Amino acid sequence: MWRAQADAYPREILVSDQARPETEFRYIVHDIDVGLDEAEAQILTSLAKRLGVAAGALSRPVLVRRGVDARHWRDVHFVMSYEVSLAAPLAEPLPNKVARVEHSRIDPVRPESLPVASSRRASAPVIVVGAGPAGLFAALALAEAGQGVVLIERGKPVERRMRDIGKLRTRAELDPESNLCFGEGGAGTYTDGKLYTRIKHPFMRWVLACFVRFGAPESILVDAHPHLGTDKLVHIVRAMRLRLIELGGEVRFDTRVDDLLVHQGAVVGVRTSAGEELRGQAVILATGHSARDTYERLEALGIPLEPKAFAVGVRAEHPQELVNTIQLGAAAGHPGLGAADYALSAQLPDEHVGKRGVYSFCMCPGGLIVPSPTEAGGMAVNGMSNAKRGGRFANSGLVVQVTPEDLMRNGYAEGPLMGVAFQRALEQATFHAAGDRYYAPAMRMTDFLKQNATGKLAPTRFRPGAVAADLWQVLPELVSQPLARGLAEFDRKMHGYVTKEANLFGSETRTSSPLRIVRDQDMQCTGFHGLYPVGEGAGYAGGIVSAAVDGLKAAAAILASEEG
């Protein structure tokens, strides 16, 4: 188990007061094991030993990567990587896990292939639909390159959006246009704010550096599993919006895009919910994974869509102290470790797909389960954490892979929107099981495995409220059977995970888009020049950073087309 640590160590360690040499040879020293309470002098000794040099030869080692190895209870420790400078080169071959670097990892980060602060401004703006990570980063990059931008968001700015979310959590009142999914910052603002991803792309460094520029702690540049938390994201997103406006960008909230303007096979603008037509040289479509009305309109326009696999399930809630003990043993509670997390997965034999994936999703240490519906008469849940992850409970989605072929076997008509229909049906069943209100049907984890609805729940802080229910009557068999098998497997991997102290809440349905908007290598929608579908809603990303990178790729493609 690998995860980020708290800010237990400084980013820079000064080895000596000697001046930097005029000629430096830079190296990255990977995977230095550091004890939980190890002194800086011991770290320097470990670095020098790995490099085969005297400690005094090291010039200003800088921490560039840190994580925690908690695979073994009796040996929980930090794992660090450092950049060091030497006056003389190391002899070849280099020591194990040491690499020469030409450019420092801590040099200022610039958005590769994105011109910055250009004086050029095209006569027609780029219209960006959606102010989630993909849309916001694309809009900001374009504006910093001197390109005119109009950013359109159906929801509200974060200041007003928070009030609507509060009404949902306290009074069970849903605003379909302003909620946990719609509004400035997108769905990612009200999550744990995880910033790690499996993708590899040069824009990733710029995304993280941009977050720091607008208020994130520098620790996200070095943590193995960086996160921000909702409380920090709210302020960062607002600061990015103000910068966009300062650069001349236009931002329109409470404005839903209801149609695309198409002329001779090219998308030339949008029509809003107010009936206004806005024209631009390109449209970046970054609606997020919950804009189902947009999907329906795209299908009617003939935009190429294709169904894809996604995942649905429940959200599990455990006492955070229990998770800490299971994961960290005697090291639980160490001030440098913070709240423990987990990542669980199982590949289960399945007669239809061979292996069916069951896995934890968006794990939120010290966080809250939150209601995340967007449509009247449907209920869904998600999770969030604040930066300190200091809450009493940990929560995570536990979800089961669902394929288009699964849906057809279960009576859904083949088509790009069949995943949407499946999600909607599950959300409506969830809403009904909670008494036709925006509460969450819930069941003790042990009761779920026994298929015995006792009507009792473990303590929980879920708001607006949890209703004891039989989740076997809510979840389709396609989901409930693999979920039960997956839970048993999770308990074998993380002994004590299945407990009567944990509840399962229905239903986790918004893990990703159930479809993909088809695009070409230039990031444009196939057959519709000028339309750039990006991010989670388009089916090309799965988190804050990957969505932001996808938006930047579209911005780069638009700027490149102008230069050409």
Tell me which residue has tokens 């979800």. 399
Three-state secondary-structure class, residue 446: helix
* pLDDT at residue 283 in the model: 98
* pLDDT at residue 94 in the model: 95
In a domain, 106, yes or no: no
Does pLDDT of 453 surpass 70? yes
In a domain, 445, yes or no: yes
Q: Which of 205, 201, 7, 207 is CA-nearest to residue 104?
A: 205
* pLDDT at residue 20 in the model: 43
Q: Which structural domain, as residue segments, surrounds residue 51?
A: 2-101
State how far the Cα of 87 lies from the Cα of 51, in Å rounded to an integer. 13
Does pLDDT of 117 surpass 80? no
Same domain? For 500 and 525 the reply is no
Element at 47 (helix H, strand E): helix 40-51
Number of structural domains in the chain? 3
Q: What is the mean pLDDT of residues 181-191?
A: 94
Instruction: Write out the DSSP string of 85-126.
Output: EESSPPPSSPPTTEEEESS-TTSPP--TT---S-S---SSPE
Residue ending a domain, choose from 62, 85, 101: 101
Q: Which of 60, 227, 203, 65 is CA-nearest to residue 138?
A: 203
pTM over 0.85: yes
CATH number at residue 21: 3.30.70.2700
Does pLDDT of 21 surpass 80? no
Same domain? For 291 and 436 the reply is no
Same domain? For 293 and 323 the reply is no
Name 318's Cβ contacts closer than 8 Å, sequence gap at least 6: 393, 394, 395, 497, 499, 501, 502
* pLDDT at residue 320 in the model: 98
In a domain, 407, yes or no: yes
Q: Across the chain, how many H-helices and E-strands are there? A: 13, 24
β-pairing verdict for 250-252 and 310-319: unpaired
- 74 Rama class: left (phi>0) / alpha (psi -120 to 50) / beta: alpha
* pLDDT at residue 3 in the model: 30
Cβ atoms of 474 and 507 within 8 Å: the answer is yes
What proportion of the chain, given as a percentage, has pLDDT over 90?
81
Quick: pLDDT tens for 29-80: 999 999 999 988 899 999 999 999 998 888 768 898 999 999 887 899 999 9
Same domain? For 232 and 339 the reply is no
Quick: pLDDT tens for 485-496: 999 999 999 999
Which residue did the predictor score with more confidence, 288 or 1? 288
Quick: pLDDT tens for 219-249: 898 888 889 999 999 999 999 999 999 999 9
Written as one letter, the residue type at 81 is S
The half-sphere exposure of 519 on its side-chain side, counting CA atoms within 13 A, is 25
Element at 79 (helix H, strand E): strand 77-86
In a domain, 109, yes or no: no
Which residue did the predictor score with more confidence, 198 or 283? 283
Quick: pLDDT tens for 546-562: 999 999 999 999 999 87
* pLDDT at residue 106 in the model: 59
State how far the Cα of 392 lies from the Cα of 458, in Å rounded to an integer. 13
Query: pLDDT tier at 102 (50, 70, 90 boundaries)?
Result: confident
CA distances from 24 to 89, 104, 189 (A): 8, 11, 42
Does pLDDT of 1 surpass 50? no
Quick: pLDDT tens for 292-340: 999 999 999 999 999 999 999 999 999 999 999 999 999 999 988 999 9
In a domain, 110, yes or no: no
| Average confidence score pLDDT of the chain | 91
Same domain? For 194 and 131 the reply is yes
Three-state secondary-structure class, residue 422: helix
Cβ atoms of 172 and 464 within 8 Å: the answer is yes
Longest dimension (CA), the chain: 74
Does pLDDT of 361 surpass 80? yes
Q: Counting every residue, how long is the chain? A: 564
Same domain? For 466 and 536 the reply is no
Does pLDDT of 17 surpass 60? no
Tell me which residue has tokens 């631009």. 280
Quick: pLDDT tens for 506-544: 999 999 999 999 999 999 999 999 999 999 999 999 999
Same domain? For 490 and 395 the reply is yes
